[in-house]
Amino acid sequence: MRRSVYLHVGAPLTGTAYLRESLARHRRRLARAGVLFPTSHLGHAGGHLDAVLDVLALASPGNTPATGAWDRLAETVRDWRRGTVVLSHELLADATLPQVERVLGSFGDAEVHVVYAARDLGRQLPLAWQEWVRNGGTAPFATYAARVLARDSHRMARVFWSSHDVGDVLERWGAYLAPEQVHVIPVPDTPDQDAVLWHRFTRTVGIDPRNLAVGPDPHRRLDPIAATEVLRLLNLATGESADPERLRALVDDLAGAGGALPRLPATLAEPARAEAAAAVEAVRSRGYDVVGDLADLLPDDDLLSGGERELSPATEDVLAAQTRLLAAVAGLRRTENGGPAGFRRRALRELSRRRPGAAGRR
């Protein structure tokens, strides 16, 4: 039987973790159907982080490259004789051309395919900023978005485009493959986008999804800008001493914070549209296989018209988010009295009582 290897290489924040976890959940059923989603040699249930860190020569806090992990994973792939193998990790989007060559050459005589999912910049940039802050970043949303779309030399712009420049990523991964072996999955902006992504992905790799139930993507959550602003202020206050894992543990405590969602301002609409158009043209001109509609990569006007509240959160929203976080840290989790709006009103009322001159009104 002809063996095929499908490498799911990103992009980050486009449902990559969701797809990886869905594949892991159905690993045994897939194997019975001739599709291998291998475990890592360290026993990681959900993916191939250790092998990817090894082949990309990367290290990060809490993750040390396991020497030889990629070679062991590649051997597992070569030993599979029943059909298809799927490997998945969004860090692969950053691979250099020599690293791509090594990866593609490690699977013997298998036919290799690359799968890359992409989302429009109107949704992707706010998610990327949120993730940047959750990992210790200190730039306000307006600064982050402007630097990324200006493609300046700052690390935040370089990190974003190394995995989100559709044309560049696919040029590297498609350098040794026929165009029909490079598959692009646009992620639509629809209520059922998680189900659409799963069906497009499974169709691409030749999996029948009818008996593989999956739920909504738990990772695709864009918090109000005030919630992320609180984490950003914590990053500024703690500097390099901040523990990223402990900061990320606070994220769920801020999930219910109120206020507007971050949204690109109209002043950045033109560069955002230009980047999207360049991505669409790169895919079309090179003849890659498109699973879906490339129009989904073009941001809607509604996503490019943010005002002051979508760029810099209102003080009362930040205060409410901070108070919510303090209550959670202190173990005083709110269970009643009006939900998030009522919580915000009580926080503001308490603040007004503590302002100078308020003592006589108590």
The residue type found at 240 is: E
How much is the mean pLDDT over the chain?
87
Q: What is the Cα–Cα distance from 67 to 89, expressed in whole angstroms?
A: 18
Report, as an integer, the average pLDDT of 19-37. Answer: 93
Residues 192, 285, single domain; the answer is: yes
113 in Cβ contact with 143 (< 8 Å):
no
- Asked, for residue 100, whether it belongs to a domain, the answer is yes
Q: Where are the alpha helices (DSSP H) in 26-134?
A: 27-32, 49-55, 69-79, 97-104, 121-134
- Asked, for residue 270, whether it belongs to a domain, the answer is no
Residues 318, 294, single domain; the answer is: no
Q: Which of 126-140, 307-321, 322-336 has the highest mean pLDDT?
A: 126-140
Give the per-residue pLDDT at 256: 78
Residues 195, 294, single domain; the answer is: yes
Q: Where residue 56 falls among pLDDT bands split at 50, 70, 90?
A: very high
Of 251 and 92, the structure prediction assigns the larger pLDDT to 92
* Domain tally, the chain: 2
Distances (CA, A) of 251 to 179, 229, 303: 40, 11, 24
Q: What is the Cα–Cα distance from 253 to 263, expressed in whole angstroms?
A: 22
Q: Which long-range contacts (CB under 8 A, 24 or more apart) does 138-141 make?
A: 138/232, 138/235, 138/236, 139/232, 140/229, 140/232, 140/311, 140/312, 141/225, 141/228, 141/262, 141/311, 141/312
Q: Where residue 42 falls among pLDDT bands split at 50, 70, 90?
A: low
Among 46-60, 159-173, 238-252, 305-319, the minimum mean pLDDT is found in 238-252
Q: Where are the alpha helices (DSSP H) in the chain?
A: 16-25, 27-32, 49-55, 69-79, 97-104, 121-134, 141-150, 155-164, 166-173, 193-205, 225-238, 244-248, 269-286, 308-311, 315-329, 339-354
Residue 37: which domain range?
4-121+163-220+279-299
- Asked, for residue 158, whether it belongs to a domain, the answer is no
Among 65-69, 73-77, 206-210, 341-345, the minimum mean pLDDT is found in 341-345
Q: Where are the alpha helices (DSSP H) in 192-268?
A: 193-205, 225-238, 244-248
As separate numbers, helices (DSSP H) first and strands (DSSP E) second, the chain gives 16, 6
Q: Three-state SS for 315?
A: helix
CATH number at residue 199: 3.40.50
Task: Write the pLDDT tens digit of every residue in 70-84.
Answer: 999 999 999 998 899
Residues 170, 254, single domain; the answer is: no
224 in Cβ contact with 313 (< 8 Å):
yes
Residues 183, 83, single domain; the answer is: yes
Residues 75, 99, single domain; the answer is: yes
- Asked, for residue 240, whether it belongs to a domain, the answer is yes
Task: Write the pLDDT tens digit of every residue in 131-187.
Answer: 999 888 999 999 999 999 999 999 999 999 999 999 999 999 999 999 999 999 999
Residues 287, 248, single domain; the answer is: no
Residues 175, 252, single domain; the answer is: no
- Asked, for residue 157, whether it belongs to a domain, the answer is no
Residues 51, 167, single domain; the answer is: yes
Tokens representing 253? 């405590």
Tell me the whole-structure pTM to 2 decimals.
0.86
308 in Cβ contact with 142 (< 8 Å):
no
Residues 29, 92, single domain; the answer is: yes
Give the per-residue pLDDT at 230: 92
Per the listing, tokens 């990790």 go with 89
Tokens representing 32? 């019975």
Omega cis (within 30) before 142 = no
Task: Write the pLDDT tens digit of every residue in 201-259.
Answer: 999 999 999 889 899 998 888 999 999 999 999 888 887 666 767 777 788 888 778 88
- Asked, for residue 128, whether it belongs to a domain, the answer is no
Other CB atoms within a 10 A radius of the CB of residue 134 amount to: 18
Distance between start and end Cα atoms, the chain = 81
Give the per-residue pLDDT at 94: 96
Domain end, chosen from 299, 329, 346, is at: 299
Tokens representing 281? 């043209």
Q: What is the Cα–Cα distance from 32 to 321, expressed in whole angstroms?
A: 48
Q: Answer positive or negative: Cα dihedral of 217, 222, 228, 232.
A: positive
Per the listing, tokens 């493959």 go with 177
Tokens representing 8? 């799911």
Q: What is the Cα–Cα distance from 135 to 138, expressed in whole angstroms?
A: 9
Q: Where residue 362 falls among pLDDT bands split at 50, 70, 90?
A: very low
10 in Cβ contact with 87 (< 8 Å):
no
Residues 245, 346, single domain; the answer is: yes
- Asked, for residue 151, whether it belongs to a domain, the answer is no
125 in Cβ contact with 43 (< 8 Å):
no
Per the listing, tokens 């500097």 go with 239
- Asked, for residue 90, whether it belongs to a domain, the answer is yes
Residues 231, 215, single domain; the answer is: no
